[in-house]
Amino acid sequence: MDINPATETIDLHDPSLYINRDLSLLEFNKRVLAQARLAEIPLLERLNYLCISCSNLDEFFEVRVASIIEMAEIDPKSVGPDGLIPSQQLEQILIAAHELVDDQYDVLNKVLIPELQQQNIHFIRRKDWSKAQHKWLSAYFKNELLPILTPVGLDSAHPFPRILNKSLNFIISLTGKDAFGRNSGRAILQAPRSLPRAIQLPATETQSGNDDFVFLSSIIHEFVNELFNGMNVVGCYQFRVTRNSDFFVDDDAIDDLLLAVQGELAMRNYGDEVRLEIDAACPEDTVNFLLNHFKLTRDRLFLVDGPVNLSRIQEINTLVNRPELKFPPFKPKVPAQLARSKDIFAAIKRNDILLHHPFESFSPVVDFLKQAAADPDVLAIKQTLYRTGADSPIVNALIRAAKAGKEVTVVIELRARFDEKANIDLASKLQEAAVHVVYGVVGYKTHAKMCLVLRREDNVLRSYLHLGTGNYHPKTAQLYTDYGLFTCDKELGDDVRQVFAQLTSLGKVSRLHKLLQSPFSLHKGLLDKIEREIHFANLGKPARIIIQVNAVVEEQLIQTLYRASQAGVEIKLIVRGICCLRPGIPKISENIEVRAIIGRFLEHARIYIFANGGNQEVYASSADLMNRNMFKRVEICFPIENKKLQARILANQEIYLKDNNQAWLLQPDGSYLAQTHKANDYIQAQSIILKDFQD
């Protein structure tokens, strides 16, 4: 850290003050995986946490590692706030990723499988199959697998097949002569993605337990000889390749965004290789053969002791009907204002209504659109969709509204990562119903969550709004914590209408009354509010900031938070995932605490609270403190002005800040320390909030 001795000023650009964003993301996955070891969590949910950590790591390699590899080739000397060039980042990331993968398989083999066995849930190894099980599995292979498997023997006429991203494959070593009298060598077998990865044995036919499973890889390994008649299989080993899946669309060179995205999607499964996973029992010569073929270095090789795709074991949670091994079910509440009133517009007109998912139901959002579709006084509906899911009731309501003759405009973000195909299909479905569909703004993802209903009342056009921190997705609303606001505030309505006009016409927005919007006013607005807290701290007035987000990355905001800490502002950050800010550094960030909550529900809300000298402000937003959210996305940040609703949000934040069961505190070195509690001092924020809504 650089300190000027003459002035005692600290250089807030010093790389030692910043944590690498990708190493921070790996720390998040460590916290997720740590849940799989906790005995107090139901066993099948612990298995689920393991699978989540694995699917997260897949995406990490597909997107983040792939982009760093590209940067190392394009601009090898580029330096981030942490001072690392791409090759240095990659080296540290791969070391941490290997440690994480080793831990994942350690959790599977030494913790979860033994505990599952104690609960009579078994993954039966080949050597332990009974005669009845072997007979049934042999028939299963012949009837269900053999007809659809296509082995490829490698020779000059049968080159190494193109390997799909993240698919299950086998490399097979052969001896003997093939059907044409030539010496055989190696073959490749790809397992179709449609096949389950864990096969449940029928108890009546195999004398197995009700929850006995065999991995697909074990079945193929056992009966692979039947695919190579007349030859001998001397080795069969799983492998999987992870590819660059973050496609690029040149915004300056495209005429049609839809066609450009469709073209890139076709190539997603065949991007550059970034990682190779192989069965740990694979011989060295075969390992080297695969590494050479995929042109990968040894540090991107992961030798694993178990299935090469642990995330597919998540199927077990659905197949096993053991409620006592899962989180207890609950019924989300409907706010009293809406439960008492069949007219949602009348309820919103009386008072703003706050929804807190998943503790409160997402159904009022669906009902809002259903009523709007059926209401003859509703003239128009405008909505953004980022991720919404297949056969969404939201989409069905929008279609019914369009068919009823209302003006319906939907802004669909085609480039919502890994939902591009679903969103293209969704756009087509809406357009067939005469909905006006636009694809956002070229060069900027539309990530804002907003719905505007225009209703004629007493010859006056009134705006009804739903603004949220999460996607319009009924299923994720059962799993993610998010806030949604219903309001008919006139100034907010005017603001949202202007933002929609901008998204469709691309015209400039005049000054907004209450909304902060990226890429225009959000970044500066947040900086100004932090500066205001510094001003109040210098005056000796209340100065406090509470921010709950998914990520803290953007350098200027971090520097301003550092300066606020130096001025004595109390800063509490609740950051689920990436945090590049280092808390607890003397004279810099000693007034900043950063905590992460890992619980039953994925913390997804974005909340910004400023003491404002005693005149507290509370904002909710679709945006995290990241460069992309500030400068490369269309986001909104909206005020919660109703004092009772403000108090609700603040009370929730205070509970999170007291959590000593599911909270992790970020340390200055970038590691996280799990919070511990005494027997009589147990605070688990999500459980407390859930209980409050169930009582």
Q: For position 7, what pLDDT does the model report?
A: 37
Within a domain: 118: no
Residue 523 annotated as catalytic: no
What type of residue is 508? K
CATH code: domain of residue 221: 3.30.1840.10
Nearest-angstrom CA–CA distance, 580 and 592? 13
Instruction: Assign 182 to helix, strand or coil.
Output: coil
Strands (E), 282-323: 301-304
Strands (E), 261-349: 273-279, 301-304
Residues 6+ apart with CB under 8 A from 276: 239, 240, 241, 242, 290, 291, 294, 296, 300, 301, 302
Looking at the fold, whether 497 and 372 belong to one and the same domain comes out as yes
Residue of 357, 447, 473, 523 with catalytic role: 447
Work out whether the CA dihedral 196, 200, 206, 208 comes out positive or negative: positive
Q: What is the pLDDT of residues 647-660, one digit of tens each?
A: 999 999 999 999 99
Q: For position 440, what pLDDT does the model report?
A: 79
At residue 509, does pLDDT exceed 50? Answer: yes
Average pLDDT, the chain: 92
Looking at the fold, whether 96 and 238 belong to one and the same domain comes out as no
Instruction: Give residue 389's pLDDT band: very low, low, confident or very high (50, 70, 90).
Output: confident
Length of the chain: 695
Looking at the fold, whether 153 and 300 belong to one and the same domain comes out as yes
At residue 138's C-alpha, the angle toward residues 132 and 143, to 5°, is 125
Q: What is the pLDDT of residues 403-428, one digit of tens each?
A: 999 999 999 988 777 778 888 888 88
**Residue 94 sits in which domain range?**
3-102
Tokens of 529: 């509010």
Instruction: Assign 18 to helix, strand or coil.
Output: strand
Nearest-angstrom CA–CA distance, 452 and 381? 6
H/E stretch holding 56: helix 43-59
Q: For position 673, what pLDDT does the model report?
A: 96
Within a domain: 108: no
CB-count exposure of residue 40 (10 Å: 0-12, 13-18, 19+): exposed
At residue 674's C-alpha, the angle toward residues 669 and 680, to 5°, is 145
Pick the range with the lowest mean pLDDT from 146-160, 240-254, 290-304, 321-335. Answer: 240-254
Within a domain: 317: yes
Looking at the fold, whether 84 and 131 belong to one and the same domain comes out as no
Q: For position 258, what pLDDT does the model report?
A: 64
Nearest-angstrom CA–CA distance, 249 and 552? 26
Within a domain: 39: yes
- Contact predicate 542/532, CB 8 Å: no
Question: φ and ψ at 587, to 5 degrees?
Answer: 70, 0
Q: What share of the chain is helix, strand, coil (3-state, %, to 5)?
A: 40, 25, 35
Within a domain: 613: yes
Looking at the fold, whether 480 and 589 belong to one and the same domain comes out as no
CATH code: domain of residue 486: 3.30.870.10
Looking at the fold, whether 656 and 612 belong to one and the same domain comes out as yes
Number of domains composing the chain: 4
Within a domain: 202: yes
Q: For position 264, what pLDDT does the model report?
A: 60
Pick the range with the lowest mean pLDDT from 498-507, 574-583, 643-652. Answer: 498-507
